[in-house]
């Protein structure tokens, strides 16, 4: 299921939402992906392909799927409990918007 989500990112991408290049690194249990976004395109790479990402997101696959497919939006409690971790929660919101998930 998680691979299907990442495989469809390029076709689901909404151009113009992101105004400057951003790199996201997702560590979702066993799944590790690097996603590059800019104003025109999205690309996905297996594993961590950059030394430093603009936004790192760590959670389990089930929680990510609930965010992506079921519209769940993590709250402060989710971050404080460690259910989801990120160095840039605001960028995560932009990531969702870039795929029409806002």
Between CA 62 and CA 46 the distance in angstroms is: 19
pLDDT by residue (tens digit) across 12-32? 999 999 999 999 999 999 999
SS (H, E, C) 47-91: CCCCCCCCEEEEECHHHHHHHHHHCCCCCHHHHHHCCCEECCHHH
List, for residues 58-102, the tens digit of each pLDDT value: 999 999 999 999 999 999 999 999 999 999 999 999 999 999 998
Q: Which residues lie closer than 8 Å to 5 by C-beta, 6 or more apart?
A: 64, 65, 68, 69
pLDDT at residue 102 in the model: 80
All domains in the chain, ordered by first residue: 2-97 (3.30.1050.10)
pTM of the model: 0.95
Check if the beta carbon of residue 102 is closer than 8 Å to that of residue 73. no
Is residue 39's pLDDT more than 90? Answer: yes
């Amino acid at each position: 299921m998680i691979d299907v989500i990442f495989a469809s990112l390029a076709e689901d991408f909404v151009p113009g939402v992101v105004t400057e290049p951003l790199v996201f690194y997702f560590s979702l249990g066993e799944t590790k992906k690097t996603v590059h976004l800019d104003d025109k395109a999205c690309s996905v790479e297996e594993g961590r392909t950059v030394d430093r990402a603009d936004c790192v997101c760590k959670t389990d696959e089930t929680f990510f799927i609930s965010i992506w497919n079921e519209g769940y939006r993590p709250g402060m409690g989710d971050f404080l409990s460690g259910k989801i971790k990120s160095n840039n929660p605001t960028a995560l919101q932009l990531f969702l918007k870039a795929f029409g998930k806002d």
